[in-house]
Amino acid sequence: MNSPLKIHENYSLKHRNTLGLLASARYFVEVNSVDELPEVLGFARDKQLPVIPLGGGSNVVFGEFLNALVVHINLKGRSVLQRDQGRVVVRAEAGENWHEFVLWTLTNEAYGLENLSLIPGTVGAAPIQNIGAYGVELKDHFVSLEAMNIESGEIECFDRQAVCFGYRDSVFKGEKLDQYIITSVTLELDPVLRPKLGYGHLGDLIASRLDGEAPSALDISQAVCDIRREKLPDPSVIGNAGSFFKNPEISQELMDQLKKRYPNIIAYPVGAKWKLAAGWLIDQAGLRGVREGEVGTYQKQALVLVNHGGATGQNVLAFSDRVQQKVNEKFGIMLEREPRFYNGWVSSIG
């Protein structure tokens, strides 16, 4: 293929995933503009290989060898599209670092994402997962996204309804799985700060720091960052993919039963259901700080699985199976994994 693009063969992915897993791809390429994508997709078709889009590598678990073309999406750019009394519409290209984008919105007096500070990954990955933290989810501010259809090479636009957001879920993890590469995201933010401090101990931390004064957006962002740094290890120090399991939602009936057995259970009401803290469940199952070979749970937060050195994707998968089994045995609840698993030609979610 005559192309200025540099396509690498048998490329190590160890430094392309935050778990630091030993893995490699048959082919790897970095894309810096949307115009390069059709050529890349053509290469994959010629080789009869699947395409795996890759952002920051913070929500994936790779098998040892991916017989695929891994495409690192490095599209950059961010802008304010519209500003009026009621809203600020912003757009970011898919390769923008999510946390840096959040800080950019705050310096541009566009508020609403401060609770989502320091979530790892890129802007393009955010709607796939419908990222969320401290009572805020991406869908709360989502307007639309653009994505290239891998089969046709056409750019298509998806509005909020078309993306079908759910809890850590979207159409791109279901019906449209492996069919699109997201290229940009447009969000609607607020020109006036409206703090959301009711989830977890975020409000208490800010109140203790400010002695009752109203917080700025940067105050909230900094508090969120401090909480996350306290609970989550730095991937550059110890490999991890952040929260590894979703917080399960259960019925009122099951909640009543569990409350009798575990009065200190951590849970939050969500409509007619209750959302439990998966980290608490894992901790109560006696699995915080446990290590098996090169994989284990983080000492400070059982929800985080860590790679102590030479782990493979299969090691992580096997250990996560054990965590699910132990929690299910104790509470009758089957935890669902957050990261995407890739193994050879096959990928799976859940």
Is residue 135 a contact partner of residue 149, using CB atoms and an 8 Å limit?
Answer: no
Instruction: Residue 117: name the closest of 216, 185, 184, 192 by CA.
Output: 216
- Which sequence positions are flagged as catalytic? 168, 243, 338
Which amino acid, 117?
Answer: S
Which residues share a beta bridge with 70?
28, 52
Question: Judging by beta carbons within 10 Å of its beta carbon (0-12, 13-18, 19+), is residue 156 exposed, middle or buried?
Answer: middle
For 84, other C-beta atoms within 10 Å of its C-beta total 8
Is residue 172 a contact partner of residue 180, using CB atoms and an 8 Å limit?
Answer: yes
Question: Judging by beta carbons within 10 Å of its beta carbon (0-12, 13-18, 19+), is residue 75 exposed, middle or buried?
Answer: buried
